[in-house]
Amino acid sequence: MRAKITIYVAAIIVLLLPLTAPAQDEFETLGSNDGYLVVGIDISGMSYDYLAIDKRGSIGFSHKFKSETMSRGMNYRIIKLPAGTYYWRRLMGNFRYRLILDREIFEMKVEPGKINYGGDIFINWRWGSSDIRMANRATSAVEYLSECCQHLLGDLPLVYARGGGDPFLDYLATLPNYGITEP
Amino acid sequence: MIQLRSAGIAIAMLLCAPLVVAQTIDDLSEVSNMSVGELLEQLPQKDVQESPTQEMIRLDLVESLFRRHKIRDASLSPDGKKLAYFELNDDSTRRLVVLHKEQRRKLILRVEENEGQQDIRFLSLHWIDNERIAYRFEIFRTTYLSMSTLQFEDGMLVDAFNKPIGPSLRIMDSLPEIDKLAVVFGPIEKNDEAERELRVVDLTDPFDSDDYRWPRRVRKMLEDSVAWLFDANGDVRLILRVDPKTEVRNTFFWDKSAKQWFDLGEFSAETDFQPVMLTPDEKSLFVITDQHTDYQVLARFDIASRAITETLYSVPGADVVLAVPNPDKTKIVRIGYFQDGVMQFDYLETLGDVVESTVELTNERTNAYVVDRSIDEKTLLIVTDDTDDPGEVRIVDADSGADYFVGYSRPWLNDYQLGKSQLVRSVSTDGEVVESYLTLPQRELAAAPPLVVMPHGGPISVTDTRHFNEYVQYLAVLGYAVLQTNYRGSFGYGKDFLEAGEGQWGRLIEDDIESAVEVVIEQGLVDRERICIYGASYGGYSALVSSVRRPDLYQCAASLAGVTDLILRFHNFNLELHEGLREALIDIVGDPEREKEILMEYSPVYMAERMNMPILLAHGTDDERVDFEHYSRMKLVLEYFQKDAEYLVIEGAGHGFNKISDEAIFLIALDEFLRKHLEVEFPPLETLYLADAVDARLENVEKFRPEPDEEEEGSQAANDDDAGVDDNDADDGPSTVIKINLETGDVTELDQ
């Protein structure tokens, strides 16, 4: 009986794992043309249905971040994507409200074999007007990655996926024992 | 005046303003809504236990420096007989009052009081004519325009009645020579969905003012304009349009007789071109510009040829920063510029004659300014302002010479021994002459005082002055000398000096600052062994860089909202939205792509290993100008290299303080940091206050005594018993609660 309970508990833990932090196995399936995109999504204001990123030049591709999978405040997400240029495409509200974000400033470039930090997006959706902005909060992203998936930081270089790059991430990789792979 | 370039003193002050701070990130949630009283309880326990009196004294000093003024926004009626202003009540609310100078009567028109769930807050006032005052106030984050009409009986001012005009309306020109009329911006229609527009209206009947509606062609052009210039009749004659993407500015002139707009051409954001008035013949404009000279001058701009044709007024070695026309807009009567860090007014035309004849103004008060006058220029409103003078307000009658004292702007500051400034000139490494201001503690000291070097923000187009500065006085009252340098890039010294600061982050700018420090050391004015550097924004950057450049000169460095990574400056969302802003930043900082290595070389985050002096690092979490990431990166590397650093954060603060509790948190932390590392003892009370003000000041200080909680009280009582302390003494606790108005930052004393 005790063994049975142990198995049930173990099974529940295994089932819950993907909901709390990315499983290590998930990150080992990176194809030769794939990279990881890390984004921070800060949510406040009215509720919405989903936030989507599309790929430039690829009709039909869309990755949706459902609001039901995120909490208020900052949410970090890591997704595996084929190399290319992606952009925050739209914020879809409940029913008929939506916000089209398709502008160059919302673009992120995913390079293969790398962890591509796409910046943090801050969404404060209100009646009448919405405040959406982006910021480079790389130190928070590094802190998140260090806690959730240090093995990734140890295996793959971390780069800034928005215009111009960020040499500070390269610098962190040069610090002895800091735990970030040099590009 | 159309402001075409951010070069004004208000902007300078804004950019210079030091910012935020708190304890640590973990403490943030409670900080932003604290009252000063609550804040006191939250301060590190060791401080309260070791030296509670110091905390109380500093809180009192911060409140004195940053609370609302006793007299604010004083304005003369067109006939010069009445003065309207906002006056502080004992409970820290304000009231709108009218003072009748001849009748010696003061009438309260309205007070800031609780309406619904929130206090109203006065914003501005304008005389519409001799009997009417329009005033704006805010409540529930919406602004309203109302008007007070004065009532007279047998010529005596006896009463007034208030009448609301409408929400979201703003007076753009009060047209003081025309009864009842004003140029107003806002929703001027009866329906609820009216669009904002610019119109001349009769304020006694604003929504039925079609008689004053401008031609359609005028109204159409106004739709995309951002600034306007009016003639004496209230007709719009000049507008400014700005391309949101390129930032290119186009100015258009409305030719009234031809009934058409005339394009005066493009002006880039770099071009200084501030129209002041249209000449009476309507053939030219008076403008402040540096298009054809190194320094800003008042010049004539010919409309037909679209060219500067004549320099009308210039000041050797200084930029003209202000030119004020008379009410009927036919002549310039006042020119403003900085000389030796002090604003100088040159009075022209009849006003000049009047001022010349006013003996006290010209001879006894070097920093007295005519800020308003009657239409006939016979009555002058004068304010004073100096390093150690927070200001007083007077009315002078030009004919009789009578000088009517209205009051002090902040009378409570007369209790303090405020520091006095002096001019310092130094020669930088490349021969550039640099101006600085050294403020010394007023009291006599046995030895040279410790020095806080305080570089201003910017670094371009900002300037420090020798006018009253709350942050300088906070340090001076507490015993520090303060040095402010107008390094290259500072405003007021001409175009070449301004542009000389571009691309000099961590280089010639810091050479300039250090040259000034060396001069005051050589002159024996400060203790060369006790010098720290502290600044906000660029000043914070400068402090961090200087900790590596000159460990021989400084003992510690404090940065508030400082830039720590020059390339990260370009990852600013507003900058990404506006290409023109990015180009401007490249000019100021350098090109992050072509000069990447140089920008890294001069970024503090890459210097942390070499920072070998105590560092105070402070930042607000909602800073949209210098993102909080600058703080996070610096903290990360300082911790990695295990440097001697203290970290202060405040939740919700931006690139500047807007709450008095934030001021208190930061300034107390700053004083503790400086005092610890400069080994300065807290000054005795008799050196903080003027001799005859000590008792009154200490009485006020008492209201900041923290209320012990029950547990501590019991513990304290037990300790007192042990120590044999008289119970009566222990019971003599305070009975006052301090409330902070979160909207205004004002402190209110509540009875328990």
Least CA distance to B623: which residue of chain A?
A: A135
Q: What is the pLDDT of residues B437-460, one digit of tens each?
A: 999 998 766 789 999 999 999 999
- Above 80 in pLDDT, residue A167? yes
- Above 70 in pLDDT, residue B520? yes
Per-residue exposure over B81-93, b if at least 16 CB sit within 10 Å of its own CB, e if not? bbbbbbbbeeebb
In angstroms, the CA B412 to CA B390 distance is 10
Least CA distance to B567: which residue of chain A?
A: A166
Rounded to an integer, the average pLDDT of A13-17 is 40
Asked if A124 reaches chain B (Cβ–Cβ under 8 Å), the answer is no
Q: What is the pLDDT of residues B504-513, one digit of tens each?
A: 999 999 999 9
User: Between chains, do B627 and A164 touch, taking CB under 8 Å as contact?
Assistant: no
Helix (H, G, I), strand (E, B) or coil at B582: helix
C-beta of residue B129 within 8 angstroms of C-beta of residue B175: no
pLDDT at B565: 97
Longest dimension (CA), chain A: 60
Per-residue exposure over B632-667, b if at least 16 CB sit within 10 Å of its own CB, e if not? bbbbbbbeeeebebbbbbbbbbbbbbbbbbbbbbbb
pLDDT at B23: 25
Interface test with B, best of A139, A140, A144, A175 (most B CBs within 10 A): A139
Q: What is the pLDDT of residues A75-100, one digit of tens each?
A: 999 999 999 999 888 777 766 666 67
Highest mean pLDDT among A23-37, B443-457, B641-655: B641-655
Q: What is the pLDDT of residues B187-220, one digit of tens each?
A: 776 665 667 778 888 888 877 766 677 778 888 8
Asked if B600 reaches chain A (Cβ–Cβ under 8 Å), the answer is yes
Asked if A139 reaches chain B (Cβ–Cβ under 8 Å), the answer is yes
Per-residue exposure over B204-215, b if at least 16 CB sit within 10 Å of its own CB, e if not? bebeebeeeebe
Asked if B592 reaches chain A (Cβ–Cβ under 8 Å), the answer is yes
Q: How far is the alpha carbon of A133 from chain B, nearest alpha carbon, in Å?
A: 6
Of A134, A164, A167, the CB nearest to B573: A134
pLDDT category at A49 given cuts 50, 70, 90 is confident
CA distances B80 to B77, B394, B527, Å, are 5, 13, 51
User: Between chains, do B605 and A171 touch, taking CB under 8 Å as contact?
Assistant: yes
Angle (deg, nearest 10), helices B660-678 and B52-66: 130
Asked if B652 reaches chain A (Cβ–Cβ under 8 Å), the answer is no
Q: How far is the alpha carbon of B675 from chain A, nearest alpha carbon, in Å?
A: 32
pLDDT category at B684 given cuts 50, 70, 90 is confident
pLDDT at A97: 63
Interface test with A, best of B629, B643, B647 (most A CBs within 10 A): B629
Least CA distance to B594: which residue of chain A?
A: A164
What residue spans of B126-200 are helical by DSSP H?
Answer: none
Asked if A140 reaches chain B (Cβ–Cβ under 8 Å), the answer is yes
Asked if B25 reaches chain A (Cβ–Cβ under 8 Å), the answer is no
Between B707 and B50, whose confidence is greater?
Answer: B707
Rounded to an integer, the average pLDDT of B597-625 is 95
In angstroms, the CA B535 to CA B484 distance is 10
Q: How far is the alpha carbon of B543 from chain A, nearest alpha carbon, in Å?
A: 21
Nearest 5°: phi and psi at A108?
-140, 135
In angstroms, the CA A126 to CA B10 distance is 32
- Above 90 in pLDDT, residue B699? no
Q: How far is the alpha carbon of A95 from chain B, nearest alpha carbon, in Å?
A: 25
Between B9 and B45, whose confidence is greater?
Answer: B45
Of B596, B600, B632, the CB nearest to A139: B632
pLDDT at B33: 39
Of B567, B576, B633, the CB nearest to A105: B576
Rounded to an integer, the average pLDDT of B51-58 is 76
Of A119, A136, A168, the CB nearest to B605: A168
pTM recorded for the entire structure: 0.84
Asked if A134 reaches chain B (Cβ–Cβ under 8 Å), the answer is yes
Can you count the helices (H) and strands (E) in chain B?
Answer: 21, 38
DSSP result, B584-611: HHHHHH--TTTTHHHHHHT-GGGTGGG-
Q: How far is the alpha carbon of A163 from chain B, nearest alpha carbon, in Å?
A: 8
In angstroms, the CA A163 to CA B572 distance is 11
User: Which ipTM value was assigned to this complex?
Assistant: 0.84
Rounded to an integer, the average pLDDT of B28-41 is 41
User: Between chains, do A171 and B636 touch, taking CB under 8 Å as contact?
Assistant: no
Between B33 and B400, whose confidence is greater?
Answer: B400
In angstroms, the CA B503 to CA A19 distance is 49
Q: What is the pLDDT of residues B358-373, one digit of tens each?
A: 655 555 556 888 899 9
Amino acid letter for position B741: N
Amino acid letter for position B325: P
In angstroms, the CA B545 to CA B552 distance is 13
Residues of A in contact with B627 (CB under 8 A): 135-137
Q: How far is the alpha carbon of B207 from chain A, nearest alpha carbon, in Å?
A: 26
In angstroms, the CA B591 to CA B406 distance is 54
- Above 70 in pLDDT, residue B538? yes
Asked if A44 reaches chain B (Cβ–Cβ under 8 Å), the answer is no
User: Between chains, do A135 and B627 touch, taking CB under 8 Å as contact?
Assistant: yes
Asked if A54 reaches chain B (Cβ–Cβ under 8 Å), the answer is no
Of A105, A119, A162, the CB nearest to B577: A105
Q: How far is the alpha carbon of B571 from chain A, nearest alpha carbon, in Å?
A: 6
pLDDT category at B393 given cuts 50, 70, 90 is very high
User: Between chains, do B571 and A167 touch, taking CB under 8 Å as contact?
Assistant: no
Rounded to an integer, the average pLDDT of B555-561 is 97
Q: Measured at the alpha carbon of residue B412, what is the angle toward residues B410 and B413, in degrees to the nearest 5?
A: 75
Q: How far is the alpha carbon of A156 from chain B, nearest alpha carbon, in Å?
A: 21
Q: How far is the alpha carbon of B646 from chain A, nearest alpha carbon, in Å?
A: 19
